[in-house]
Structure 1
Amino acid sequence: MSNDILAKKEGESSSKTELQKLEQKLKKAEEKMKKAEEKMKLIREKFEKAQSEVQVQTSDSSRGKDTVQDKKDKKDKKRKRDIEEEIKLDEKVIDDANESEEKIKEVENEENKNIENIQKEEIENKKLKKEKKEKKKSKIENEFKVINNSIIKGDLNAKQIFQDEELSDQSKKNIYYAQLYSNRSTNDNNNNNISNENEKENEKEIINWKFNKAKQNWLIRNIFSNEEIPIKYLDIVLSYLKTVQGLSRNNLIESAKKIITPSSEDTTSSIETDVIIDKTDVEKKEVDGVEESTTTKETEMKINKEKEEEKIKLTLLKKERAQKLLQAMDIEV
């Protein structure tokens, strides 16, 4: 839609340029028309004068002067033809000026229509954007309203998740999505013990689980991250991910297996990276051929050791999560 508006605006600017050119032509044509009218007036006067002279000379001339008179008549006729041609040319100038004026009016009308269409489209786009924004805002407000109601009504899981300051907003929403699935499974087993009236009332106050592809993908991407999905929420997420089907399930299993038993290529690339880092560290230790102090070396060694320990810790955590995931999905490790 925005491309159409730009195209129309470009057309509008070209129409303005054409309009300016036509206005200039019209001014020139009007000037020519005035000059032509003045010229026509003079020519008509000359023509009338010449015509009256010819008539007088014809009546007064004798037969002996016919030859001279014939020559003069020819000249007068030629002059008359020239005058008529000039009049025609001047009339053409006037017609051209009128045509130019009509073209200007057409361009102006078309330009006004284009402006009206652009304004209508802009108003419609603004209206649509506003409606989408309000719809999204209303959806978020309703979601949080229902979450608050769930917390007030005693949903301890919702309270724990949404009041956990360690979790990001994304983590809260997506972990709660998995929690809702667990709640749904529990509610399905206890459906016979709930009356229809209570069920309708609960639907107003508690969010019902609904499949969401984006949230599922987020859980798949972050299942091995302790920051996004802390260990205390792991079982909730696993209870959802074990139900994933199709290509997503296959990719999830492959990712878990690679973490547990990395390929030889991954191991080689890791070793090469470590060697490059070590070489860089050695180069940094010498500046203009002078070794750094022992304290600096010890500090660097300590930092490197801590980094390595953290790296090993994260690798072990990932492996542990991958094993739990495969177990939850009934896949042999």
Structure 2
Amino acid sequence: MKNFNILLSVIIAIAVISCKSTEQNPEQLEYALCIHGGAGTILKKNMTPEKEKAYFDKLDEALSVGDSVLKNGGSALDAVELTIHVLENSPLFNAGKGAVFTHSGKNELDASIMWGKDLNAGAVAGVGDIKNPISAARKVMENSEHVMLSGKGASEFAVQEGLEMVDSSFFFTEKRWNYLQKILKKEREMTQTDRHGTVGCVALDKNGNLAAGTSTGGMTNKKFGRIGDSPIIGAGTYANNHTCAVSCTGHGEFFIRLGVAQDIAAMMEYQKLSLDKATDAMIEKLNQIQGTGGFVALDKYGNPAMKMNTSGMYRGYVNSKGSREKFIYK
């Protein structure tokens, strides 16, 4: 019996080692990219076929841009920035051109970007005249000693860096303006859909580097210069070559309180969880404090996670093996 127990222990130990080896050393993809365009109460019954097609087409365009960069040996940073440009330039999403309005009828945009290779990061907050805030965030990361710039100072820096500036009227869209008027008239809280309309991208390049970026127009009817999680490194955006890259979308106050993006990476690093298990655990943490939203993520092997606790999230994934997926509903 003693010998049997010893033999059984050896078999179990070998099995455990084998399982760990399989989980920690999956197939390494050459490159991969994942995007989101916001999470919230997105229901098929409320979506016309034309509008649904418009969203799928724009997600596909963004994936194509990122895929082209990575396929041709470009960096994950370039892929993230240029992919987010596609989403920022579309009025379909609450970022850049489609930004929502504050209580005072202005557009205040936020964005952040992070490089997993050296943990460098940059962000801008509360800007209203930079066409592509994600590019301003990258300039802050690469050409300044700071991580986050806000408001007028961020705009002055963007001008100095030669970025394309626009009049605030560039961000006006009738849909977003009418929605603000509706809220002001009824004096009620915003719907989940506009609350969660952020865009983001995470990428793994051929050199094994991860990057993450997030851009948003904020929250409809927000007051007092409110800033959410999108420009906050560790809350809305995080990338570390040792673990994963994450971009979040949701009710920012909850994502800030939990430090969602970095906590996913921390669970992978310290608890040795897979990306899938770490992101599941984070959804549960959000549920516990009644936080709503979602995120997209890639681990260092290129495995994706696109999780949410809402009824939908605009999202997509592409990789070097030719996999290409786009989703809207849960």
Higher relative contact order (CA 8 A, sep 6+): 2
Mark the structure with the bigger radius of gyration.
1
TM-score w.r.t. structure 1 length? Answer: 0.21
Return the structure number with greater helix share.
1
